[in-house]
């Protein structure tokens, strides 16, 4: 059986990066011979098998032919005559179209190893435009690879623009858009995802609410970067730095300022009430992409409350309590830490302010801990019930916040 290691495992080893799962392509075999060798079939759309001992994936070499719109509009052909070079030709990027033989020899018909050395993300061939998902994959790969110095080849960006102009991206299903977005938000440079989509003309099709932020000015004394779209890029990268791998925080960072795109022109560069204006487009985005409830809820909180957290030292004790209550912080305490991270990313995601301190985040967590230490069960022991118990609990928690504010932060 002629097998070759392919895809990300080869790419990452050549980059000196930690490798993920091993995937193999098999040449010259049939489903029947794979079953006879003990492999377990798992592929629904094309022949993929699990190794009987290692559980690793082995796929029969195949070609693909476009048959309809969208990334599912393909006819897959697999038989023993399909060559390794033909299988690699159907792949998206040259750096993913490298195979490695069992003896370590590389099979690299499309120059992927050289593109790895040159730090270029380049499509394999003109069939790239047939799969709209590849525009998203290019952007998502850049979210991971930009930190290593990669750039998208100009000719690949040109094909992305062709796909965007043709309307092919409209065929993307929400679940796949969200999957690629979430993976980008878990990467080191989410800003590269946004920039790549925008340069390829695809951001307006995939995330129009975010695309609308570019070119919207902000007050330079608060936002030296001025452009709201650039600010969101900086905030997303800061969120990835503060909460690496947390796409819940990342999504809230991405969407916290959507309301600034709706500021009347005559009010610019001020953005009064942008927090409230941002809630409707945020809900629409979440519904369209079927964003998980946990991500949606934190994003709505961050959109509505981030200026309140920034102004935390100015808020009255009861206002702090009510802010925490709106966050459902006493039932879901993890929200407070995440909200604090989003707000810190917002404050530090500005030109020249990346290393600035954000004491409001620490203080929000400290005041929440003080208030949460007051429990309803303790007050219920005094015989209070119903609305009376709720009001007593609120007053006791406000008192705890006031006492914590009088105490030194490290007391």
Residue with tokens 């011979």: 33
Sequence ranges of the domains in the chain: 1-111, 132-206, 217-373
Lowest-pLDDT range of 41-50, 128-137, 326-335 = 41-50
Instruction: Kindly tell me if the per-residue pLDDT of 303 is higher than 90.
Output: yes
132-206: what CATH class? mainly alpha
Lowest-pLDDT range of 208-222, 236-250, 341-355, 394-408 = 394-408
Q: 109, 91 in Cβ contact below 8 A?
A: no
pLDDT-based confidence at 63, cuts 50/70/90?
A: confident
Instruction: Kindly tell me if the per-residue pLDDT of 346 is higher than 60.
Output: yes
Instruction: Kindly tell me if the per-residue pLDDT of 150 is higher than 70.
Output: yes
List, in sequence order, every residue forming a beta bridge with 75; answer none if it has no partner.
65
Average pLDDT over residues 347-358: 97
Mean pLDDT of the chain: 93
End-to-end CA distance of the chain: 68
Residues 342 and 334: their CA atoms lie apart, in Å, by: 13
Q: Cα–Cα–Cα angle for 208, 214, 217, nearest 5°?
A: 135
Give the Cβ contact number of residue 111 at 10 Å.
16
pLDDT at position 186 is 97
pLDDT at position 75 is 63
Residue with tokens 């404050």: 347
pLDDT-based confidence at 21, cuts 50/70/90?
A: confident
Q: What pLDDT digit, counting tens, does each position of 164-175 carry?
A: 999 989 889 999
Instruction: Kindly tell me if the per-residue pLDDT of 156 is higher than 60.
Output: yes
Taking the CA atoms of the chain, what radius of gyration do you get in angstroms?
26
Number of Cα atoms under 13 Å in the Cβ half of residue 51: 13
Three-class DSSP category at 95? helix
The tokens for 357 are 């301190």
The CA–CA distances, whole Å, from 83 to 89, 90, 107, 111 equal 10, 12, 12, 17
Residue with tokens 């030296």: 224
Percent of the chain with pLDDT over 70: 94
Q: What pLDDT digit, counting tens, does each position of 103-148 carry?
A: 999 999 999 999 999 999 999 998 899 899 999 999 999 999 999 9
The tokens for 189 are 């440079």
Average pLDDT over residues 236-242: 98
Element (H, E) at 5: strand 2-6
Q: What is the pTM of this model?
A: 0.91
Q: Cα–Cα–Cα angle for 385, 386, 392, nearest 5°?
A: 70
Q: Is the dihedral of CA 270, 276, 277, 278 positive or negative?
A: positive
pLDDT at position 381 is 63
Three-class DSSP category at 268? coil
158 Cα distance to chain centroid: 24
pLDDT at position 45 is 67
Instruction: Kindly tell me if the per-residue pLDDT of 67 is higher than 50.
Output: no
Residues contacting 230, CB < 8 A, separation 6+: 214, 351
Residues 209 and 250: their CA atoms lie apart, in Å, by: 16
pLDDT at position 392 is 87
- Higher local confidence (pLDDT), 410 or 186: 186
Average pLDDT over residues 34-47: 86
pLDDT at position 70 is 47
CATH 3.30.460.10 holds for 1-111: yes
Instruction: Kindly tell me if the per-residue pLDDT of 332 is higher than 80.
Output: yes
Instruction: Kindly tell me if the per-residue pLDDT of 96 is higher than 70.
Output: yes
Query: Max alpha carbon distance in the chain (Å)?
Result: 82
Residues 152 and 156: their CA atoms lie apart, in Å, by: 7
Q: What is the secondary structure of 302-341 as a DSSP string?
A: HHHHHHHHHTGGGS-HHHHHHHHHHTTTTT-THHHHHHHH
Three-class DSSP category at 403? helix
Q: What pLDDT digit, counting tens, does each position of 367-383 carry?
A: 999 999 998 777 766 76
pLDDT at position 202 is 95
User: Strands of 40-41's sheet, edge to edge?
Assistant: 40-41, 48-50, 57-60, 23-27, 2-6, 99-100, 106-107
Average pLDDT over residues 76-94: 89
Percent of the chain with pLDDT over 90: 83
Q: What are phi and psi of 58, to 5 degrees?
A: -125, 120
Average pLDDT over residues 299-305: 98
pLDDT-based confidence at 271, cuts 50/70/90?
A: very high
Strands of 123-229, DSSP E: 151-152
Q: 130, 93 in Cβ contact below 8 A?
A: no
């Amino acid at each position: 059986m002629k097998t070759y290691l392919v895809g990300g495992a080869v790419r990452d080893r050549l980059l000196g990066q930690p490798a993920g799962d091993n995937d193999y392509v098999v040449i010259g075999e049939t489903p029947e011979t794979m079953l006879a060798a003990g492999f377990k079939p798992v592929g629904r759309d094309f022949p993929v098998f699990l190794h009987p001992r290692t559980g690793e994936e082995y796929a029969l070499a195949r070609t693909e032919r476009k048959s309809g719109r969208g990334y599912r509009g393909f006819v897959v052909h697999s038989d023993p005559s399909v060559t390794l070079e033909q299988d690699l030709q159907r792949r998206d990027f040259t750096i993913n179209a490298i195979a490695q033989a069992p003896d370590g020899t590389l099979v690299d018909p499309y120059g992927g190893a050289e593109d790895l050395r040159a730090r270029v993300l380049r499509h394999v061939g003109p069939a790239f435009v047939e799969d709209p998902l590849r525009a998203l994959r290019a952007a998502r790969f850049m979210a991971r690879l930009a930190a290593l110095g990669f750039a998208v080849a100009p000719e690949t960006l040109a094909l992305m623009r062709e796909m965007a102009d043709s309307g092919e991206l409209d065929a993307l299903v929400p679940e796949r858009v969200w999957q690629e977005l979430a993976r980008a938000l878990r990467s080191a440079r989410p800003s590269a995802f946004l920039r790549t989509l925008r340069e390829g003309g695809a951001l307006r099709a995939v995330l129009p609410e975010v695309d609308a932020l570019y070119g919207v000015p902000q007050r330079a004394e608060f936002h030296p970067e001025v452009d709201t779209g650039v600010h969101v890029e900086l905030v997303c990268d800061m969120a990835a730095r503060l909460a690496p791998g947390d796409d819940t925080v990342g999504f809230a960072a991405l969407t916290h300022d959507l309301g600034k795109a709706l500021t009347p022109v005559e009010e610019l560069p001020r953005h009064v009430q942008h927090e409230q204006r941002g809630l409707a487009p945020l809900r629409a985005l979440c519904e369209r992409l079927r964003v998980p409830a946990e991500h949606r809820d934190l994003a709505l909180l961050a959109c509505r409350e981030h200026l309140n957290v920034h102004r935390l030292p100015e808020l009255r004790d009861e206002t702090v309590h009510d802010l925490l209550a709106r966050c459902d912080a006493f039932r879901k305490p993890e929200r407070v830490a995440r909200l604090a991270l989003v707000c810190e990313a917002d404050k530090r995601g500005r030109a020249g302010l990346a290393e600035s301190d954000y004491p409001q985040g620490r203080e929000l967590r400290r005041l929440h801990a003080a208030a949460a230490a007051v429990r309803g069960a303790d007050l219920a022991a005094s015989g209070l019930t119903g609305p009376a118990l709720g009001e007593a609990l609120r007053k006791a928690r406000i008192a705890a916040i006031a006492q914590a504010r009088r105490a030194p932060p490290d007391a």
